[in-house]
Amino acid sequence: MSNLIVLSFDSPDEAQQVKDSLRQLAKQGGISLNDTAVVVKDEDGSIHVDNQVSHGTMVSTGVGALLGVLLGGFLFPIGGLLLGAAGGALVGRLADLGVDGKFVKDVADSLQPGSSALFVLVRDTDPTAALATLRQYKGTVLQTTLSSEAEANLKDALGDKSS
């Protein structure tokens, strides 16, 4: 099962730094990242979103394209390919608890100028390793689907004093 975690930071660069640290932890096997997105609000209020497509979504797109070809048969192979690819991407995103675009916009709008937010979809997490990685950063938990206990541990690791 995947969990959504949304963190905010007072620095425009910190969300990217945390994402990079989590990706390094993923390479070491301490965490499995399904998807990440960084939202930065510049000092002038401009919003920038960096969303990286997950490997799982790319695989789902490929599988969907293959199914589309098979289902489309010989009569409409190109249409079947396109329909299957689109359906596969959608299924992949839904399976990963995809992040709603309106929610991303709402979070971005709520950020103060010169700050950032990180959206992370994780599964199979080693809590000890993940919390150790996050302790060096100071952030606020905006949203999570974690259990109450796991959320409290995350807030403690980030020094988040919000309730």
List pLDDT tens digits, range 102-129: 677 778 888 899 999 988 888 777 777 7
The count of residues in the chain is 163
Question: Domain-by-domain residue ranges, the chain?
Answer: 7-52+101-115+124-158, 56-94
Q: What is the pLDDT of residue 89?
A: 40
